Amino acid sequence: MSKFRKKKKGLPKISTASLPDIVFMLLFFFMVSTTMRETDLLLKKPVLPTASEVKKLEQKSLVSTIYVGKSKDSRISGDKIQVNDKIIDVNDVTSFIYSERALRKEEEVKFMTTSIKADKDASVGTILDIKEQLRDINALKISFSTVKGTNLKTNY
Amino acid sequence: MARREVGEINAGSMADIAFLLLIFFLVTTTMDVDSGIARKLPEKTEDTPEVTIKEKNVFDIVVNRNNQILIEGDQYVKVTDIRRLTMAFIDNGGGIGIPKDDKPGEPCDYCTGAKDPASSDHPSKAIVSLQSDRGTKYGMYVSIQNEIEGAYTDLRNKLSLKLYSRSYDALLSDYKDTPTEKLKAKIDDIKDKYPQIITEPEPIK
């Protein structure tokens, strides 16, 4: 009798020996997919406008980003432009693109895209100025960075 | 000589360490994909050839600093109306298209528009013009750009469904997976039938 009872007693323990393996797998996944933030924003984080007809930017290594937004200091009004780690004047956009081009191979230059990450409250004038600068140096591929969504009401 | 046995290292806390690292990477990771409205700027050329464009072939969108939109100089509309109006304008097909390789222009046989003689002649001639004020909000500007883009996409999708029984978006994603000449020809054909001609005149000061 007692032999039978012993068998039924308790659930078998779940082996946790493979737990570290699973966790390591996840760990490696996140380590590989993570991208450390390269630039510290000196501006207020731009609130991107919403758009429905968006295209994903391919080849991240060929994208140079220009940020447009308000200064963190609320006493300073007007739109500020940031590239890499500093706030620049509109006229310096060209030199930024030149320096970005210098980092790439020559044959890749024509595929380079400029992504404009601008706050939805920024004024179009600033954006048009940047576009004019980009036209001057033949950096013709641009992308207005947006959040994908269908509610355009939040934009204005 | 007494050999000292090396004691087994307890691996029980390995999971904890791994978890700690895992949580660190979980928190710091940002998987934002950069997406946006793609535009190609017009090239800067020294000499621009004089071309005469009929007034009816230009769809005028003007947006002022109060984010109000005026269409064709007399119609005050909302952002949500732009897509419909732009589509009607491009797809009108009231006349003949631009001459191609010495062949005279042909009327648009794939357009489904109203064929109004007072609106655009042909999708290849239809120009969308977006003039903004320097003080316009960027969000508004992007919304309008989005609606114009949407109008072209809708028209291309519709035509593509009719010709190839597959939407333009689907063709594009197919092409991304398997780039074949045949698909490329289809995409180019659709693109050619509804070319995106958007112009942005100097902003209002």
Q: CB B28 to CB A34 under 8 A?
A: yes
Q: How far is CA B116 from CA B88, B90, B112, B126, in A?
A: 10, 11, 11, 13
Distance from CA of A21 to the nearest CA of B (A): 8
**Mean pLDDT in consecutive groups of 10 residues from the start of chain A, 156 residues:** 59 79 84 71 86 84 88 82 87 91 88 90 90 90 89 80
Q: CB B15 to CB A16 under 8 A?
A: yes
**Mean pLDDT in consecutive groups of 10 residues from the start of chain B, 205 residues:** 71 79 79 80 78 85 90 86 89 80 78 83 88 90 91 91 88 87 88 88 79
A90 shares contact with chain B (CB less than 8 Å): no
CB atoms within 10 A of CB A26: 16
What is the C-alpha to C-alpha distance for residues A36 and B60, in angstroms, rounded to an integer?
44
CA dihedral A73, A75, A78, A80 (to 10 degrees): -20
CA dihedral A32, A36, A38, A43 (to 10 degrees): 140
Please give the distance of CA A118 from its chain centroid, rounded to a whole number.
12
Q: Which residue type occupies A40?
A: D
What is the C-alpha to C-alpha distance for residues B13 and B167, in angstroms, rounded to an integer?
55
Q: CB B35 to CB A120 under 8 A?
A: no
What is the C-alpha to C-alpha distance for residues B119 and B58, in angstroms, rounded to an integer?
9
**What pTM was estimated for this model as a whole?**
0.80
Pair of tokens at residue A86:
């500093």
A137 shares contact with chain B (CB less than 8 Å): no
- Three-state secondary structure call for residue A138: coil
Which of A21, A25, A30 to mutate to test binding with chain B, by most B CBs within 10 Å of its CB? A30
What is the C-alpha to C-alpha distance for residues A148 and A51, in angstroms, rounded to an integer?
5
List of chain B residues whose C-beta atoms are within 8 Å of the C-beta of residue A60: 34
Q: How many contacts does A have with B, using Cβ atoms within 8 A?
A: 164
| Residue A39 per-residue DSSP state | S
Over residues A52-90, the pLDDT tens digits come to: 888 888 787 888 889 998 888 877 888 889 988 888 988
Find, in chain B, the residue whose alpha carbon is nearest to that of A140: B41
